[in-house]
Amino acid sequence: WTNPDRPIADLDELRTRARAVLAQNDKGTMVTAAPNLYPHQWSWDAAFVATGLSTVGVPRALAELDHLLAAQWDSGMIPHIVFADEVQLRGAGLRGAGYFPGVDRWRTERASPAGVKSSGICQPPVHATLVRRIVERATSRGGEDGRLAEDFARRTLPQWIRWHEWMRRARASDRSGLVTIYHGWESGMDNSPRFDGPYSRVHPGDLEPFVRTDTRIVEDASQRPSDEEYARYLWLVQQMADVRFDDARLPGAVDFQVKDVFMSAAFAAANEDLAVLAERFGHSDEVTRLREWSAEFREGVDAAVDPATGLARDRDLLTGEWISLPTIAGFAPLLSTADPALRAAQLVLIEGPEWAGDPRLAFPLPPSTSTTSPLLRPREYWRGPVWPVMTWYIAEAMRRHGDGGRYARWREASIAQLMEGHFGEYYEPFTGEPLGSYHQSWTAAVALEWLD
Ligand code: 2M8
């Protein structure tokens, strides 16, 4: 491939260029997830973006989270997309209408707060983990940044707690310690092979016609989901919109219902982080409940590990079957487990020859599907490429569990991957080619995290 974004010479330049990517994607009130492919605010992207921004300026990082929180539904759900204002986008030379499905397709006008345009589904609840990181970074610096972050934590804690309450109530009231998703988009790993079984049972009926726009931007369509996959994605949106995204009606209405083990592990970790924040910032009455949820989901994730493979499994709720496939989600326990033997076994696996230790890799980093699996598609979105944001999120969880050595090794490999200069959305594991969108915000954000 040709590299119009010339390679990066050193770490100072990496920092400067990563900051420039975020500055260019900053539309004032939101940093769009990517300049063209994703010209809106995405929920979990915003959390990663905010932590990256906090290395540059704490007020802007907090504003990003405030913008997301302003879209929180009455139910407590934080929607997966907050759509940018058309005028704002046009001013920045972008057309939000270029993203499909846009807000009209979601039919959420009654459920979203007044004046807010949002989708009607959620994404992984990584927010509390990253808010904790931002607050700890800012308060250790002290001064005005510290004060602002403390005020932010005090003011917004009730909202983050409502978000977690919603997740537990609407998606895991069965006490399985596993979160239900009604769309692959909720997992954030849209077309991962983990969802192939459940999606094979989704048969679009009378589907409103649609025209994709993503493949106009990522011109090599083989890097994106297929048209068949998109038809299923849109069918599920239609099914949910038809019941107005009413949490109580979704189980009776939607043809895709999966217990998502990675999201559950993110939730376990985030409940502990929220408990720490609640303890520190005047919500100590909430701490016990948050720690109970943390334990419930930690146990749910541990119990989902397949003894045969050592990887954690999702479960198809509609067939009752466990989904045992070698995807990055199988390493969910690295985010959450308190079992040292399970952690040790997973670390051996993830650095072994089927994952980051495969000698054919351009960089020793875990791809989204095992390199030795016949399911691997090295260029296709969540079916094989290496995602820098995943690399950092998992490495950061290792560091928090006291594994600074491994964090340092992954940091070195990830930085080496990013030096080619595109800030790709994802990377071909064997060649290091940047794929998907370029100048992806969360990729720039994790570069800044590595450098902090
Ligand atoms: C991707 O998903 C969106 C739908 O939500 C899309 O393909 O249109 C995923 O990688 C998701 O995890 C991410 O949050 C989003 C924006 O970066 O893009």
Q: Is 163 close to ligand 1, i.e. is its CB under 6 Å away?
A: no
pLDDT at 254: 98
Choice from 32, 43, 190, 226 to test ligand 1 binding pocket (greatest atom count within 8 A of CB): 190
* 61-97 pLDDT tens trace: 999 999 999 999 999 999 999 999 876 667 666 655 5
Q: Is 366 close to ligand 1, i.e. is its CB under 6 Å away?
A: no
H/E run at residue 22: helix 11-25
* 401-430 pLDDT tens trace: 999 999 999 999 999 999 999 999 999 999
Place of tokens 């569990």: 401
pLDDT at 4: 72
Question: Is the per-residue pLDDT at 1 higher than 70?
Answer: no
Choice from 185, 191, 213 to test ligand 1 binding pocket (greatest atom count within 8 A of CB): 185
Question: Has 425 been annotated as catalytic?
Answer: yes
pLDDT at 93: 66
**Domains of the chain, each with CATH number or no CATH:** 11-451 (1.50.10.10)
pLDDT-derived band at 23, boundaries 50, 70, 90 = very high
What ipTM is given for this predicted complex?
0.99
Place of tokens 């009607």: 120
Using the atom order of ligand 1, give the atom closest to the CA of residue 185: 5
pLDDT at 92: 64
Q: How many A from CA of 246 to the centre of ligand 1?
A: 23
Q: Is 45 close to ligand 1, i.e. is its CB under 6 Å away?
A: yes
Task: Round to whole Å and give the CA distance between 332 and 124.
Answer: 12
Closest CA to 76 of 150, 148, 169, 5: 169
pLDDT at 47: 99
Which of helix, strand or coil describes residue 181?
strand
**Cα distance from N-terminal residue to C-terminal residue, the chain:** 30
Q: Is 190 close to ligand 1, i.e. is its CB under 6 Å away?
A: yes
Question: Is the per-residue pLDDT at 148 higher than 90?
Answer: yes
Question: Is the per-residue pLDDT at 353 higher than 60?
Answer: yes
Q: How many A from CA of 16 to the centre of ligand 1?
A: 25
Q: How many A from CA of 38 to the centre of ligand 1?
A: 8
pLDDT at 427: 98
Task: Round to whole Å and give the CA distance between 52 and 58.
Answer: 10
Q: Is 262 close to ligand 1, i.e. is its CB under 6 Å away?
A: no
Express as a percent the part of the chain with pLDDT over 70: 97
How high does pLDDT run on average in the chain? 96
Choice from 21, 22, 41, 42 to test ligand 1 binding pocket (greatest atom count within 8 A of CB): 42
Question: Has 380 been annotated as catalytic?
Answer: no
Q: 145, 190, 214, 316: which one is catalytic?
A: 190
Minimal-distance CA residue to ligand 1 atom 1: 188
Are 301 and 294 a contacting pair, CB within 8 Å?
Answer: no
Minimal-distance CA residue to ligand 1 atom 9: 188
Q: Tell which phi-psi region holds residue 284, choosing left (phi > 0), alpha (psi between -120 and 50) or beta.
A: alpha
pLDDT at 67: 98
Q: How many A from CA of 329 to the centre of ligand 1?
A: 16
Q: Is the peptide bond before 35 cis (omega within 30 degrees of 0)?
A: no
Task: Round to whole Å and give the CA distance between 409 and 343.
Answer: 18
Task: Round to whole Å and give the CA distance between 420 and 333.
Answer: 31
Using the atom order of ligand 1, give the atom closest to the CA of residue 44: 14
pLDDT at 89: 67
Q: Tell which phi-psi region holds residue 47, choosing left (phi > 0), alpha (psi between -120 and 50) or beta.
A: alpha
Q: How many A from CA of 186 to the centre of ligand 1?
A: 9
Q: Is 33 close to ligand 1, i.e. is its CB under 6 Å away?
A: yes
Question: Is the per-residue pLDDT at 393 higher than 90?
Answer: yes
Task: Round to whole Å and give the CA distance between 60 and 42.
Answer: 16
Task: Round to whole Å and give the CA distance between 30 and 94.
Answer: 14
pLDDT at 5: 85
Q: Is 426 close to ligand 1, i.e. is its CB under 6 Å away?
A: no
* 159-187 pLDDT tens trace: 999 999 999 999 999 999 999 999 999 99
Which of helix, strand or coil describes residue 32?
coil
Query: Hey, what amino acid is at 376?
Result: L
Minimal-distance CA residue to ligand 1 atom 13: 188
Minimal-distance CA residue to ligand 1 atom 12: 188
Q: Is 387 close to ligand 1, i.e. is its CB under 6 Å away?
A: no
Minimal-distance CA residue to ligand 1 atom 4: 185
Q: How many A from CA of 386 to the centre of ligand 1?
A: 15
Question: Is the per-residue pLDDT at 198 higher than 60?
Answer: yes
Q: Is 48 close to ligand 1, i.e. is its CB under 6 Å away?
A: no
Q: How many A from CA of 190 to the centre of ligand 1?
A: 7
Q: How many A from CA of 341 to the centre of ligand 1?
A: 34
